[in-house]
Amino acid sequence: MINVLQQLASEHHRFSIKDSFSMQPNRVADYSLVAAGLFLDYSQQNISPQVMKSLNDWARQCDLTGKMQAMFGGEKINNTEGRAVLHSVLRAPSDVQQAVLGGELARQVGDTQQRMAELVGQLHNGDLVGFDGRAFTDVIAVGIGGSYYGPKVCAQALKPYTNSQLKVHYLANVDGEGVEEKLDALNPATTLMVVISKTFVTQETLLNANAVKSWLVEGGCDEQNLSKHLMAVSSHVENAIKFGVNSDRILPMWDWVGGRFSLWSAVGFPLACAIGIDNYNELKAGAYEMDHHFMNALLEQNMPVIMGLLGIWNRSFMNYPSLAVLPYSHALRDFPGYLQQVDMESNGKSVGLNGETITLATAPIVFGQEGTNSQHAFMQMMHQGQDKIPCEFIVPLTTHSTLKEHHKVLVANCFAQSEALMNGKSLAQVKTELAAKGLSEQEIEQLAPHKVMPGNSPSLTITMDKITPKVVGSLLALYEHKIFVQGAMWGLNSFDQWGVELGKELSSAILTAMDGEDDTKLSPATSSQLARFMQANQG
Ligand code: F6P
Residue nearest to atom 16 of ligand 1 (CA): 197
How remote is the CA of residue 196 from the centroid of ligand 1, in Å?
A: 10
Query: Angle 364-368-370 (CA atoms, 0-180°, nearest 5)?
Result: 160
How remote is the CA of residue 268 from the centroid of ligand 1, in Å?
A: 15
| pLDDT mean across residues, the chain | 96
> Under a CB-based contact definition with an 8 Å cutoff, are residues 425 and 384 in contact?
no
State what percent of residues in the chain have pLDDT above 90.
94
What pLDDT score was predicted for residue 520?
67
Q: In sequence order, what E strands does 328-472 have?
A: 365-367, 391-396, 459-464
- Band (pLDDT 50/70/90 cuts) for residue 517 is confident
> Under a CB-based contact definition with an 8 Å cutoff, are residues 187 and 229 in contact?
no
What pLDDT score was predicted for residue 515?
87
What pLDDT score was predicted for residue 496?
97
For the CA of 202, the nearest atom of ligand 1: 16
> Under a CB-based contact definition with an 8 Å cutoff, are residues 193 and 140 in contact?
yes
Ligand 1 pocket test: pick from 147, 480, 483 the residue with the most ligand atoms within 8 Å of its Cβ. Answer: 147
Residues within a 6 A CB radius of ligand 1: 144-147, 197-199, 202, 205, 259-260, 345, 497, 500
In this prediction, residues 121-132 reach a mean pLDDT of 96
Residue nearest to atom 6 of ligand 1 (CA): 259
How remote is the CA of residue 253 from the centroid of ligand 1, in Å?
A: 13
Q: Which residue has the higher pLDDT, 20 or 521?
A: 20
Radius of gyration of the chain (CA): 25
Q: Is it the case that residue 519 has pLDDT exceeding 70?
A: no
What pLDDT score was predicted for residue 141?
98
For the CA of 205, the nearest atom of ligand 1: 16
Residue nearest to atom 1 of ligand 1 (CA): 145
What pLDDT score was predicted for residue 165?
85
**Lowest mean pLDDT: which of 87-91, 189-193, 413-417, 511-515?**
511-515
How remote is the CA of residue 90 from the centroid of ligand 1, in Å?
A: 19
For the CA of 149, the nearest atom of ligand 1: 8
Q: Is it the case that residue 509 has pLDDT exceeding 90?
A: no
Neighbour count for residue 391 (Cβ, 10 Å): 24
Q: Is it the case that residue 373 has pLDDT exceeding 70?
A: yes
How remote is the CA of residue 91 from the centroid of ligand 1, in Å?
A: 21
- Band (pLDDT 50/70/90 cuts) for residue 256 is very high
pTM of the model: 0.96
Strand partners, 326: 393
The pLDDT tens digits of the residues spanning 344-362 come to: 999 999 999 999 999 999 9
Catalytic site includes residue 504: yes
> Under a CB-based contact definition with an 8 Å cutoff, are residues 143 and 263 in contact?
no
Ligand 1 pocket test: pick from 250, 497, 504, 505 the residue with the most ligand atoms within 8 Å of its Cβ. Answer: 497
Query: Angle 43-49-51 (CA atoms, 0-180°, nearest 5)?
Result: 95
The pLDDT tens digits of the residues spanning 156-215 come to: 999 999 987 899 999 999 999 999 999 999 999 999 999 999 999 999 999 999 999 999
What pLDDT score was predicted for residue 521?
79
Residue nearest to atom 2 of ligand 1 (CA): 500
For the CA of 146, the nearest atom of ligand 1: 8
Residue 414 to residues 153, 213, 247, 305, 385, Cα–Cα distance (Å): 21, 45, 49, 24, 20
**Lowest mean pLDDT: which of 174-178, 235-239, 281-285, 506-510?**
506-510
Q: Which residue has the higher pLDDT, 132 or 519?
A: 132
In this prediction, residues 393-415 reach a mean pLDDT of 97
Burial class of residue 291 in the structure, from the number of CB atoms within 10 Å of its CB (0-12 exposed, 13-18 middle, 19+ buried):
buried
Q: What one-character-per-residue DSSP string does 41-55 give?
A: E-TTSS--HHHHHHH
In this prediction, residues 30-41 reach a mean pLDDT of 98
The pLDDT tens digits of the residues spanning 302-317 come to: 999 999 999 999 999 9
Catalytic site includes residue 376: yes
DSSP helix/strand/coil, 161: helix
